[in-house]
């Protein structure tokens, strides 16, 4: 399939998902409030020492996003499987790979939006300084959210039908995300505080590599996952 057709198909899927999300807004709201509570719980669990909280804020932020992703990823395919609309999508002249790309971008944009909403919360709870390197911070957030979505979309397509689906998605997803979490937290940390050894570009490169690898593997594997569905 021509690249133009692939991207166009992805854009259609993305637009459809955005419209659906906006009409219900239920998933968005639930996810936002869930993450807010998570960040609050972290601040209570880790105690009142603001220096400790500030130092570990990137970790809390990314864990909050990660836990929320399990909710939102799980939902993204439940919608499809409940109405058999995935079959409909596949029967339409839209390549499965376009669907994959569209879904990944949809999930990633949702998580990115969530991350943006959480940023002022981290300022309030953990006293971080957002102004040090905002461009790098946004880039780290974007790459990380993409890194969660790429394998997450493949796994959620599979676990939406499995028994014990609620626990299957995190069970499959979390081990794979270990290096991404490490890189995203490190990149965020160096965007928020001093970067003595100039590590930030390298962590961003690692995140990019992770994203590219999982997008490619997902591209190859996703069509096989959704065929015969």
Partner 1 sequence: MPYWSPLALLALVLGVVITHLAVPSTRGWMWMVAGGLGMLALVALIYLGLVWAPPEAFMSDVGRILYVHVPYIWMCMLAFTINVGCAIAYLMKKSWRTDALAEASAEVGVLFGAGGVLMGSIWARPTWGVWWDWDPRLIATTVMLLSYVGYLAFRSFTEDPERRATWSAAVSILGYVSLPIVWFSVRWWNSLHQVQSTTQTLDSAMRIVMWWGTVTMLFFLFVFIVKRYEIARSRQSSALELPPEAARQEVAA
The stretch among 2-10, 11-19, 82-90, 220-228 that binds partner 1 (CB under 8 A) is 220-228
Report in angstroms how near the CB of residue 3 gets to partner 1 at its nearest: 23
Phi-psi category of residue 95: left, alpha or beta, with phi > 0 → left and psi -120 to 50 → alpha: beta
Degrees to nearest 5, angle at CA 185 with 182 and 187: 105
Report in angstroms how near the CB of residue 229 gets to partner 1 at its nearest: 8
| Binds partner 1 (CB under 8 A): choice among 81, 133, 193, 202 | 202
SS3 sequence of 136-198: HHHHHHHHHHHHHHHHHHHHHHHHCCCCCHHHHHHHHHHHHHHHHHHHHHHHHHHHHCCCCCC
Report in angstroms how near the CB of residue 187 gets to partner 1 at its nearest: 11
Report in angstroms how near the CB of residue 177 gets to partner 1 at its nearest: 8
Give the count of beta carbons closer than 10 Å to the beta carbon of residue 195. 17
The residue count for binding partner 1 (CB under 8 A) is: 34
Q: Does 212 bind partner 1 (CB under 8 A)?
A: no
Nearer to partner 1, 50 or 167 (CB): 167
Degrees to nearest 5, angle at CA 183 with 201 and 208: 60
For the CA atoms of the chain, what is the radius of gyration? 18
Report in angstroms how near the CB of residue 125 gets to partner 1 at its nearest: 26
The H or E element containing residue 134 is helix 134-159
The stretch among 77-85, 103-111, 116-124, 196-204 that binds partner 1 (CB under 8 A) is 196-204
Report in angstroms how near the CB of residue 157 gets to partner 1 at its nearest: 9
Nearer to partner 1, 7 or 213 (CB): 213
Q: Take residue 75 and report the two structure tokens written for it.
A: 């939902």
- Residues in Cβ contact with 169 at an 8 Å cutoff, skipping those fewer than 6 apart: 70, 73, 74, 152, 155, 156, 159
By CB under 8 A, the residues from 127 to 186 that bind partner 1 are 151, 154-155, 158-159, 161-164, 168, 171-172, 174-176, 178-179, 182-183, 186
| Binds partner 1 (CB under 8 A): choice among 73, 156, 214, 215 | 214
**Given the rule CB under 8 A, which residues bind partner 1?**
151, 154-155, 158-159, 161-164, 168, 171-172, 174-176, 178-179, 182-183, 186, 197, 199, 202, 206, 209-210, 213-214, 217-218, 221, 224-225, 228
């Amino acid at each position: 399939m021509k690249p133009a057709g692939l991207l166009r198909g992805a854009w259609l899927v993305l637009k459809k998902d955005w419209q659906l999300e906006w009409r219900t807004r239920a998933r968005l709201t639930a996810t936002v409030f869930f993450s807010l509570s998570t960040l609050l719980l972290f601040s209570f669990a880790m105690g009142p020492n603001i220096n400790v909280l500030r130092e570990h804020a990137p970790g809390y932020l990314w864990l909050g996003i990660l836990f929320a992703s399990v909710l939102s990823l799980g939902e993204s395919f439940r919608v499809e499987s409940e109405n058999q609309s995935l079959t409909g999508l596949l029967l339409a002249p839209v390549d499965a790979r376009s669907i994959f790309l569209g879904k990944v971008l949809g999930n990633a944009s949702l998580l990115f939006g969530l991350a943006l909403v959480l940023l002022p919360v981290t300022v309030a709870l953990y006293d971080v300084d957002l102004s040090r390197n905002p461009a790098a911070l946004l880039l780290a957030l974007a790459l990380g959210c993409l890194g969660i979505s790429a394998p997450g979309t493949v796994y959620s397509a599979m676990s939406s039908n499995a028994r014990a689906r609620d626990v299957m998605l995190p069970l499959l997803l979390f081990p794979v995300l270990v290096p991404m979490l490490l890189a995203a937290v490190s990149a965020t940390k160096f965007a928020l505080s001093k970067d003595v050894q100039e590590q930030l570009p390298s962590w961003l490169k690692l995140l990019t590599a992770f994203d590219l690898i999982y997008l490619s593997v997902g591209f190859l594997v996703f069509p096989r996952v959704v065929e015969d569905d």
